[in-house]
């Protein structure tokens, strides 16, 4: 059946018979067919953006002997944000891309709890309800524990993790200070990238994959600059972030509480803390509702002070008030943006594709945005390798194969990744007692967070790969 299908496809690619086509005995009969490939012509992939997902994808493609050039707009490699953690499922995807990536996590990660016997649970508790006369409002409360798998909550700093990944990258792959301006499809297998510095790059017969983050330029070019789906939008949540000395945190909160991740739920806000820097520091994040606007052109990170949030937690229990009091006077606040209000209807156009935050930027309330991006990287690595195999062994036109691969990527990855964007917003409502089903009932909240988390953590990776292959063949046959 596949042989007949490919025969029909080849028939459709060839032009009508021309009696003059063979006058030159040195001319290949297929030279007259536009965009037809020489069998040994390698794929050349342009990846826009060298954050965590772009770098992991590049390593995966390089391991498949695919030529990759990564274009990064910054003058030096950096990652915005602070802590990041990967569950066992995301680590498995990494190992399938490049086994060394998992070692990168181990090098910089901080175990949760006792390093000799790490706590692999996500923990949350009511941080609001308390007896005004009780200085210790937590010890008598129910602590909800949700098992995340082995090493599921070993956190690390994004920038430190990226530094380790880049140690694996060949020297000639990344081009810095390359802010993308336009993409131009010249046909005949050529996609031209024009940069804001006036330089031009050409992806010969190859695709462009945008991993350029939440403010993705590639997404704008795919969907249109006047399309609201081309941009992230403010969720009206602000994350206040600060680092606290672990010695000071332990003295105030006790050893277990300071050295283990905790989420404190309550009305219209929630607080999270976990150990970082090999347990020398405690990272604190306090989420508050903001009714004001946050224009997209404004930096997503702004300076803040502890006084801005102290009043919001004045009526909470003493434990949460102690956590807030530990924060430095000067800190940072981050506007939380995502793509829920205007989701991308597709992740590709022709031979241009977006992945990670560029495709489905999520709020951080599930802590899974990067993990879903790693799934994207695995999917694209496998698909592009399949394209490479197709054009070498089946005489398939490269342009057609690449378009089929990216269409398959959208078909398989869009539903799950867009679900995450929505569920992450809803998880925030659960933590902040605004969910219409759970309200302030922490038992119900726990069960709902558990159901959603398991959908993220226990993903059928092999099933995804099979579905990608099926969709690729489907689109190739159209």
- Residue-wise pLDDT tens digits, 138-168: 888 999 999 988 877 778 888 899 999 999 9
Residue whose tokens read 């308390």: 130
Alpha-helical regions (H) of 177-330: 217-223, 246-253, 255-259, 307-310, 318-326
**Domain annotation covers residue 413:** yes
Let me know whether 348 and 453 are in one domain: yes
Residues 258 and 334 in one domain: yes
Do 245 and 325 fall within a single domain? yes
Any domain includes 190:
yes
At residue 105, φ and ψ (nearest 5 deg) are -65, -45
The predicted pLDDT at position 81 comes to 58
pLDDT class of 203 with cuts at 50, 70, 90: low
Nearest-angstrom CA–CA distance, 244 and 252: 11
Residue 238 lies in a domain: yes
Say how many domains are in the chain.
Answer: 2
CB 190 within 8 A of CB 205: yes
In a domain, 427, yes or no: yes
Average pLDDT, the chain: 88
**29 within 8 A of 22, measured Cβ to Cβ:** yes
Same domain, 307 and 362: no
pLDDT of residue 133: 79
- Structure-model confidence comparison of residues 56 and 153, the more confident one: 56
Among 338, 355, 390, identify where a domain stops: 338
N- to C-terminal Cα distance for the chain?
Answer: 15
Looking at 338, 353, 377, the residue that finishes a domain is 338
The Cα–Cα gap between 188 and 278 comes to 53
320 and 347 both lie in a single domain = no
Do residues 326 and 284 lie in contact, with contact meaning Cβ atoms separated by under 8 Å? yes
Hey, which residues are catalytic here?
241
Assess if residue 24 is contained within a domain: no
Q: What is the CATH number of the domain that holds 188?
A: 3.50.50.60
> CB of 321 within 8 A of CB of 314?
yes
* CATH number of the domain bearing residue 249: 3.30.9.30
Q: Are residues 238 and 226 in the same domain?
A: no
**Domain end point (choices 317, 338, 359):** 338
Q: Which two tokens stand for residue 361?
A: 């930027």
451 phi/psi in degrees, rounded to 5: -60, -45
More confident: 15 or 114: 114
* Residue 128 lies inside a defined structural domain of this protein: yes
Residue 84 has a pLDDT of 83
334 and 320 co-located in one domain: yes
Task: Name the residue with higher pLDDT: 299 or 82.
Answer: 299
pLDDT band of 1, cuts 50, 70, 90:
very low
Tell me the per-residue pLDDT of 342-367, one tens digit each, with 9 for 90 and over.
999 999 998 999 999 999 999 999 99
Instruction: Give Cβ neighbours of residue 179 (< 8 Å, ≥ 6 apart).
Output: 73, 195, 196, 197, 217
What pLDDT is recorded for position 398? 85
List the domain range (segments joined by +) for residue 164.
41-83+156-232+341-477
């Amino acid at each position: 059946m596949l042989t007949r299908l490919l025969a029909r496809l080849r028939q459709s690619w060839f032009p009508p018979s021309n009696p003059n086509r063979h006058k030159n005995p040195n001319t290949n009969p297929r030279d007259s067919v536009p965009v037809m490939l020489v069998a040994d012509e390698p794929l050349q992939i342009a990846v826009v953006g060298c954050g965590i997902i772009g770098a992991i994808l590049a390593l995966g493609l390089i391991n498949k002997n695919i030529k990759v050039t990564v274009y990064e707009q910054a003058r030096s490699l950096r990652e915005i944000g602070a802590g990041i953690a990967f569950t066992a499922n995301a680590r498995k995807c990494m190992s399938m891309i490049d086994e060394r990536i998992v070692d990168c996590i181990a090098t910089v990660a901080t175990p949760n709890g006792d390093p000799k016997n790490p706590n692999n649970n996500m923990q949350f508790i009511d941080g609001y309800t308390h007896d005004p006369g009780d200085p210790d409002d937590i010890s008598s409360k129910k602590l909800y524990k949700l098992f995340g798998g082995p090493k599921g909550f070993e956190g690390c700093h994004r920038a430190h993790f990226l530094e380790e990944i880049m140690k694996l990258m060949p020297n000639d792959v990344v081009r810095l200070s390359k802010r993308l301006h336009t993409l131009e499809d010249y046909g005949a297998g050529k996609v031209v990238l024009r940069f804001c510095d006036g330089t031009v790059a050409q992806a010969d017969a190859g695709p462009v994959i945008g991993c350029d983050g939440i403010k993705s330029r590639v997404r704008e070019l795919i969907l249109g600059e006047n399309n609201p789906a081309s941009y992230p939008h403010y969720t009206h949540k602000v994350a206040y972030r600060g680092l606290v000395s672990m010695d000071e945190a332990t003295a105030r909160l006790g050893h277990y509480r300071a050295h283990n991740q905790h989420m404190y739920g309550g009305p219209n806000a929630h607080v999270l803390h976990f150990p970082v820097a090999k347990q020398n520091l405690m990272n604190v994040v306090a989420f508050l509702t903001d009714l004001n606007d946050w224009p997209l052109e404004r930096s997503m990170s702004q300076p803040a002070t502890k006084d801005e949030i102290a009043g919001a937690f004045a009526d909470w229990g003493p434990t949460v008030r102690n956590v807030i009091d530990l924060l430095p006077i000067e800190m940072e606040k981050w506007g939380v943006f995502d793509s829920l209000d205007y989701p991308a209807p597709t992740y590709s156009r022709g031979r241009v594709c977006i992945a990670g935050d560029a495709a489905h930027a999520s709020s951080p309330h599930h802590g899974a945005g990067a993990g879903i991006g790693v799934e994207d990287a695995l999917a694209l690595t496998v698909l592009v390798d399949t394209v490479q195999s197709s054009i070498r062994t089946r005489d398939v036109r490269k342009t057609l194969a690449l378009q089929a691969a990216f269409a398959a990527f959208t078909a398989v990855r869009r539903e799950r990744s867009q679900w995450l964007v929505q569920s992450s917003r809803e998880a925030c409502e659960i933590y902040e007692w605004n969910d219409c089903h759970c309200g302030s009932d922490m038992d119900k909240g726990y069960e709902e967070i558990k159901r959603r988390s398991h959908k993220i953590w226990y993903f059928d990776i092999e099933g995804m790969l099979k579905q990608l292959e099926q969709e690729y063949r489907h689109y190739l046959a159209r």
